[in-house]
């Protein structure tokens, strides 16, 4: 069995890391590079930089952060936020990132997934999906624009289409769970993992170390992403991996 990945996520606004609840109430929690370097020291498997208010005007900020991150980190770096074109993929990858996460633009233009995977390889293309349960509990709808707009797309149909177009991974965020710290959305994760044959990263709702172990025990997701747990010093990546290993969940262990 492949080792499960632990991935700290850094939501970035105007060059600083922020964190909120249900996509609102953002608080400044530090410098992206310094936080990422600390997670690298803690044996994180990779790190995500998510530019949550990306515009063309602040592209220079995120480009600088990617270049600094690529120079100072030994772990893979995934970057998302405001990706609209193959040129955006090229800029981010040429700046030193290993993967690019695309969300809203892929919904608007699904061909972008295929074009990017054809040019850069499926390993570089991460389809990020923000989803929320329907009121009647009949399934989940896909949201875009930072969780502000319901597209009406069915989650399961969308992830299957994304895989067919060439996405190499699904980064799945439950909007119902995001920031609540009540645990991952197991029901949603199970449904998506069963629907696709590519890796699925669990995101949204992690409140403690046990939540990460439990998501691996209860679903076949390949990775777990967390923010608050790590940003506020409540747990280290090493501590999470210790718990996973004790529960016979395969993880990459501490650097020697």
256 lies in some domain: no
User: pLDDT > 70: what percent of the chain?
Assistant: 92
Q: Are 228 and 200 spatial neighbours (Cβ–Cβ below 8 Å)?
A: no
What are the beta bridge partners of residue 255? Answer: none
Q: Which residue has the higher pLDDT, 189 or 2?
A: 189
Single out the residue of 106, 108, 157 nearest to residue 128, CA to CA.
106
pLDDT at 206 over 90: yes
pLDDT, one tens digit per residue, over 147-187 is 889 999 999 999 999 999 999 999 999 999 987 889 999 99
Would residue 239 count as lying in a domain? yes
What pTM was computed for the model? Answer: 0.93
Q: Which of 56-65, 215-224, 235-244 has the lowest mean pLDDT?
A: 56-65
- The answer to whether 21 touches 233, Cβ cutoff 8 Å, is no
Q: For residue 57, what pLDDT is reported? A: 55
Q: With 90 as the cut, is the pLDDT of residue 22 above it? A: no
User: What is the structure's pLDDT at 38?
Assistant: 95
Q: What is the pLDDT of residue 164?
A: 98
3-class state of residue 97 by DSSP: coil
pLDDT digits (tens, 9 = 90+) for 41-84: 999 999 999 887 775 556 777 899 999 999 999 999 999 988 99
Whether residue 156 is contained in a domain is answered as yes
Number of domains in the chain: 1
Write out pLDDT tens, residues 76-123: 999 998 899 999 999 999 999 999 999 999 999 999 999 999 999 999
Environment class of 101 (CB within 10 Å of its CB; exposed 0-12, middle 13-18, buried 19+): buried
Give the residue numbers annotated as catalytic, written as ranges: 11, 130
Predicted local confidence at residue 62, as pLDDT = 87
What is the pLDDT, as a whole number, of residue 113?
Answer: 98
Please give the pLDDT value at position 256.
44
- The enclosing domain of 83 has a CATH number of 3.20.20.70
CB 93 within 8 A of CB 76: no
Helices (H), 47-103: 59-72, 86-94
Cα 59–Cα 64–Cα 69 angle in degrees, nearest 5: 125
Per-chain mean pLDDT for the chain: 92
Contacts 24+ apart (CB under 8 A), 220-224: 220/193, 221/189, 221/193, 222/2, 222/4, 222/5, 222/169, 223/4, 223/5, 223/6, 223/7, 223/45, 223/199, 224/4, 224/5, 224/6, 224/7, 224/184
Q: Please indicate whether residue 18 or residue 248 has the higher confidence score (pLDDT).
A: 248
Q: pLDDT tens across 27-46, in order?
A: 566 789 999 999 999 999 99
Domain residues for the domain of 208 are 5-246
């Amino acid at each position: 069995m492949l080792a499960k990945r632990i991935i700290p996520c850094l939501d970035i606004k105007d060059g600083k890391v922020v964190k909120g609840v249900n996509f609102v109430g953002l608080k400044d929690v530090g410098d992206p590079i310094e936080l990422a370097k600390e997670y690298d020291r803690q044996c994180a498997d990779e790190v995500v930089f998510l530019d949550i208010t990306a515009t063309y005007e602040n592209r220079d900020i995120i480009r600088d952060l990617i270049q600094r991150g690529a120079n100072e980190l030994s772990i893979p770096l995934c970057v998302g936020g405001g990706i609209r074109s193959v040129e955006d993929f090229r800029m981010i990858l040429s700046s030193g990132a290993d993967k690019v996460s695309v969300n809203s633009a892929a919904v608007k233009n699904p061909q972008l997934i295929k074009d990017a995977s054809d040019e850069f390889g499926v390993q570089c293309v991460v389809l990020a999906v923000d989803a929320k349960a329907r009121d009647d509990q009949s399934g989940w709808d896909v949201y875009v624009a930072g969780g502000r707009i319901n597209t009406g797309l069915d989650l399961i149909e969308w992830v299957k289409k994304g895989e067919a177009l060439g996405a190499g991974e699904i980064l799945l965020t439950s909007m119902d769970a995001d920031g609540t710290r009540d645990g991952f959305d197991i029901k949603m994760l199970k449904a998506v993992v069963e629907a696709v044959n590519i890796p699925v990263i669990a995101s949204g709702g992690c409140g403690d170390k046990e939540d990460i172990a439990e998501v691996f025990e209860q679903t076949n997701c390949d990775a777990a992403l967390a923010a608050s747990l790590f940003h506020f010093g409540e747990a280290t990546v090493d501590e999470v991996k210790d718990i996973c290993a004790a529960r016979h969940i395969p993880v990459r262990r501490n650097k020697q």
